[in-house]
Amino acid sequence: MNSRMDPYVAYRLQLLQEGQTLRSFWEQLGQGEPEARDRLAKFLHRLHGTSGTYGFEKVSDLAQELREAVVARPPRVLEEPMVEPLLAALLEASLGQETEAPAVH
């Protein structure tokens, strides 16, 4: 019997941690930390790509939209409600509620 976890299941479980990381980076941005915007943009870029690879299209799309907003707007214009749809999508996906099956690439 193979004791290794299916990569799709492992990534789905990782999505809860991704939500915590997102919230942390968002708070750092709100506190005006100098490198926060770059860290958040890189995190969202990675989340966009990886979640899309695993078939979590809603998470992928929302990560890309938020990344575009983070890059385009001054930090003082970014508001908490902007991050909420992505946090909700991460929770849904981690519970297996977003997608029926992983994408095949």
Note the pLDDT of residue 78: 75
Rounded to whole angstroms, the Cα distance separating 47 from 12 reads 12
Instruction: Evaluate whether residue 104 is within a structural domain.
Output: no
Instruction: Evaluate whether residue 103 is within a structural domain.
Output: no
Rounded to whole angstroms, the Cα distance separating 10 from 24 reads 22
Q: Do the beta carbons of residue 25 and residue 41 sit within 8 Å? A: no
Question: Which residue pairs, CB below 8 angstroms and at least 24 apart, start in 44-50?
Answer: 44/70, 47/18, 47/22, 50/11
Instruction: Evaluate whether residue 2 is within a structural domain.
Output: no
Note the pLDDT of residue 96: 85
> pTM for this structure?
0.84
Instruction: Evaluate whether residue 1 is within a structural domain.
Output: no
Instruction: Evaluate whether residue 100 is within a structural domain.
Output: no
> Per-residue pLDDT for 12 more than 50?
yes
Instruction: Evaluate whether residue 68 is within a structural domain.
Output: yes
Range of the domain at 75: 7-94
Instruction: Evaluate whether residue 101 is within a structural domain.
Output: no
Question: Count of domains in the chain?
Answer: 1
Note the pLDDT of residue 47: 98
At residue 103, what are phi and psi to the nearest 5 degrees?
-70, 150
Query: What pLDDT digit, counting tens, does each position of 50-86 carry?
Result: 999 999 999 999 999 999 999 988 766 777 788 999 9
Higher-confidence residue of 3 and 40: namely: 40
Mean predicted confidence (pLDDT) in 90-94: 93
Note the pLDDT of residue 2: 53
